[in-house]
Amino acid sequence: MNVLDHLRALFADALRPLTERPEDYALHVRPAQDPKFGDYQANCAMPLRKELGGNPREIAQKIIDNLPDQSIFESIEIAGPGFINLCLTSDALVGELGTLLGSDSLLPATSGPAPTMVIDYSSPNVAKPMHVGHLRSTIIGDALARIHRALGWNVISDNHLGDWGTQFGMLIHGWRHYRDDAKAKENPLAELARLYRHVNELGENDPVVARAARDETVKLHEGDEENLALWKEFMPWCLEDLHRIYDRLDIRFDHELGESFYQPMLAETAKSLEEKQMATPSDGALCVFFPDPSGKTDDDDNVIQRFAPMIVRKADGAFTYATTDLASIRYRVEEFQPDVIVYVVDDRQSLHFQQLFEVAEKWGYTDVQFEHVAFGKITGKDGKPYKTRQGGTVGLEMLLDEGITRAKASVDEISPDLSEEERQQVAEVVGIGAIKYADLSQNRISDYIFDWDKMISLNGNTATYLQYVYARNRSIFRRGEIDPATFFATLPEIVLDHPSERALALILLQFPESLQQAAGDFKPNMLTTYLFDLANAYNGFFRDCPVLKAPSESLRASRLALCELTARTIRTGLDLLGIKTVERM
């Protein structure tokens, strides 16, 4: 159990004689915002007054009197209107740190059956090169999958590829009419990308081309053999291209069940919605309508529709994105029995997901929790969508290359002692890490400004800073010729006499809390903020407390233990964000 959970359990016991909802009020126990208020604060008395009446300071005193075990507290003080400030004893901290140092995991063992989560992320439309717009879902989704796994969830990741869309009609049309055989032979994917751009451009000015491309899509969807054969020929090229990028980003999926996978299930999905009278025919199409919940009507007594309807089948017979998502819900529930299905998709699709979840629930999926983890867009410094200087979309492959090139320049400067080859390896880790971290450290809801200089900076809340702190930490062990594996085989006595040692100890113990917060709100930035605070506390400790030159052997061992725990925590934390560390830089 982590410290916070332990404190909350203690307070729940203390609150039990006072209220019916002790666990709820115990949630008001939180880490103190400022060390002058102690280590943790229990702010349960003020909200409890609403239920009990009376003076919150007196309520606070009653809670304290009820605490079953006070041995872990150095001090318990009532402050202001009724805050309870808690300071833990060094013994309590030392005990926890010792347990941590002696175990191979930084995370508390989980109890009870693991809940199952299906997480749908990245999910690009294939056959078009991946661009900067695909970055956020891919990176945030991967971090959330890793964090939940670390907390004991059974996580099933699924890349819901857009592999059945209108882009294939364009490719088929292009392939038939504008293919360059030599190029197609040499690099089929590059040729597809060229044809896609070409047909797209032609179609913008020429309705005949646009129509022809659309017709090819319709034929494909109707099962036309030649078009299907071309689709089957194109798909492996498209997937190979995607996987090259995923490999560079160190991202893997358990499943890649794209839209095409669900095609055979769509007619049945529509039929079921119609039978349950959830979908109704309208102008040849089949739609689900969303009446205003208040039942309001317009002048002609029509029930006001709250949203545009969800189209399940278009008038031309084609099924839609929404139908596919409904079919995928049915499939996922039957196949994986998830407790939660999470969609990491940008906020422009909020309405789609709102409708989707509403329909899914009515359709009978009431035991599953649905979550749309939405995020804003990536902008340039001008606040407009991030574009190349020429105004085009920024290709993902090029973006990764540029990150590594920029990181290399900076690594050349910080690490002149490393060989050229080592510096190149470090630059890969730093460049990719910087791109991921810059995204993850934002509150995902907001748009975020893409800024190379900030993201690779050694100063500030960046992956580069954390990677550097980690490598410096490892160098202490190298200089002292200490192998952590053998050194900590016998656990040293940890001493927390200096305030900087104590501050570091406290934050080291809060790692699981930060993961729970990040997971609970689907916000990886809770973890980045934690890691940044940890690195700063560690720097304070390192500034104030000599390690290799500590005044005694025992203090040296104790401080090395704090270094080791810091290193493990940074390495694990970054790993859960999908970011690597290097031993030297």
Interacting residues with ligand ARG (CB under 6 A): 120, 123-125, 160, 162, 325, 343, 345
CB of 439 to ligand ARG, least distance (A): 17
3-state per-residue secondary structure call for 460-515? CCCHHHHHHHHHHHHHHHHHCCCCHHHHCCCCCCCCCCCHHHHHHHHHHCCHHHHH
- Residue with tokens 């810059």, as numbered in its chain: 438
CB of 266 to ligand ARG, least distance (A): 14
Neighbours of 372 (CB within 10 A): 19
CB of 160 to ligand ARG, least distance (A): 4
Query: Nearer to ligand ARG by C-beta: 85 or 159?
Result: 159
CB of 360 to ligand ARG, least distance (A): 12
Q: Which residues pair with 229 in a beta bridge?
A: none
CB of 123 to ligand ARG, least distance (A): 4
What lies within 8 Å, CB to CB, of 12 at 6+ separation is 22, 23, 25, 26
Query: Nearer to ligand ARG by C-beta: 118 or 151?
Result: 118
Query: Nearer to ligand ARG by C-beta: 345 or 565?
Result: 345
* Percent of the chain as helix, strand, coil, to the nearest 5: 55, 10, 35
CB of 108 to ligand ARG, least distance (A): 33
Query: Nearer to ligand ARG by C-beta: 135 or 509?
Result: 135
Query: Nearer to ligand ARG by C-beta: 246 or 470?
Result: 246
Token pair belonging to 296? 């309001």
Query: Nearer to ligand ARG by C-beta: 120 or 241?
Result: 120
CB of 120 to ligand ARG, least distance (A): 5
- For residue 282, give the H/E element and its range: strand 280-282
Query: Nearer to ligand ARG by C-beta: 162 or 433?
Result: 162
Q: What is the CA radius of gyration of the chain?
A: 28
CB of 545 to ligand ARG, least distance (A): 49
**How many CA atoms does the CB half-sphere of 461 hold within 13 Å?**
16
Whether the CB-CB separation of 555 and 561 falls below 8 Å is answered with no
What lies within 8 Å, CB to CB, of 276 at 6+ separation is 362, 363
Query: Nearer to ligand ARG by C-beta: 322 or 526?
Result: 322
- Distances from the Cα of 28 to the Cαs of 12, 23, 42, 61, 72, in angstroms? 10, 9, 6, 16, 19
- Which amino acid is residue 24, in one-letter code? D
Whether the CB-CB separation of 356 and 322 falls below 8 Å is answered with yes
Whether the CB-CB separation of 268 and 324 falls below 8 Å is answered with no
Query: Nearer to ligand ARG by C-beta: 246 or 343?
Result: 343
CB of 403 to ligand ARG, least distance (A): 23
Task: Provide the phi-psi class of 317: left if phi over 0, else alpha when psi is between -120 and 50, else beta.
Answer: left
Question: Helix or strand or coil: residue 48?
Answer: helix
